[in-house]
Structures are given as structure tokens and as C-alpha cells.
Structure 1
């Protein structure tokens, strides 16, 4: 049974390796669990607009059966804040930049991604 659609934007600096990979992996796992999600990834800097994710990221993802080849790098837009439910940012500097760009009524959507490692 599919749940209601939730939209998530993954944001890092250049949108070339880390968060296109997160988008692909999260989407696959959510689909397998029966969640209906709309996913996207973007960069605060967007150095590589329109380019596919880094080949090394694509190769690592492919080994785990995640396809990233259809994804294209892009820069965060002001429109993203109004149309997405969650905006997950990698690192404090990206959180700061997103909150600076975001209209005040959407700043609560910006969350810092935290990778917690347990030994």
C-alpha cells in the first residue's frame, strides 16, 4: 500500500557526488518499503549544472544496483523551498546558505544531514 507522497530535496555544495547518490539510494529504499516519494538533489553552488553525477559515484551506486545515470546536477532554486516538504543539507555551510536563500515561511524545512557512525 502506498502512502501519501512526500517530497525531499537533498542538497550538498556541487550536487555532483554525495547527494545524487543519496537521492538514488533513498528513492530505491523508499519504493521497496511502499512509500511514494518525490526526490530531487541540488547544490548550493551548482558548479556542474546539467551534468550527470560523477562517474565514480555512478560506478559505486551501480555495484549496489542503484541507477544514477538519469540524474542531472543542478543548483537550488527559490521555487524549491515552496514545492518540497523537506530540504536535507550536507554540512553547516550549506544549511546556512539555504536558510539565507529561503523565504522565512519555509526555513523550517531545512534540516542538516547527520551521518552517525556507531562503532
Structure 2
């Protein structure tokens, strides 16, 4: 008997909820410029949408993105933020051919954060 082909392809619903919560928190992060907060939060909303239907590597991409945004939102030490950004960039490289929509969104988010020195 064959296993259903969708097994293991559904993203963790908690990851999508975490990203939605991070987008809300980011909109309220007073240490960031209003335009940056809005654009980054909008991109997180786009990423949540890109998780459905699931594509290979989107869960790891979403988790790494959430770690970086959480570090920025919580004003972690610059070294921790840089480490999270480097991990995310590594995940993007692995995922870009398998999840082009999600990686495009994440790359735009990285550009927005780079614009403010992150």
C-alpha cells in the first residue's frame, strides 16, 4: 500500500502562527523606522501566504526567518542577529530552486533589514 504523497509536505501550522505573531510584534517595534516595520511585517505576511500550498524547504526557511526577525524585534546582541542572518542566508541558498516564491520574499526581507544596518 502506498503512502499519500502529501505526507511530510504540510508545513508546521505553528511556524505560520509564529510568523504571523512576529509580524504583529514587528509592527509595534518602536526601535525600527515606521517604513521598515511596515515593509518587513508585510513581507512576513507574504511569507505566511507562500507556505500554502507547501513547497519543499519552506518550513526550514520560515523557521530561520522567524529566528532572525525575533532577534531583531527583541533587540538581541548584534552578534546573535548576525548569526541568525547568516543561518538564514545558508537556508536560502539551499531552498532557492525548490521554493522560489518563499526565498524571493525572504531575500526582500533581508534587503529591508540590510537597509537599516542589520
TM range (shorter): 0.3 to 0.5
Bigger share in strand: 1
Bigger share in helix: 2
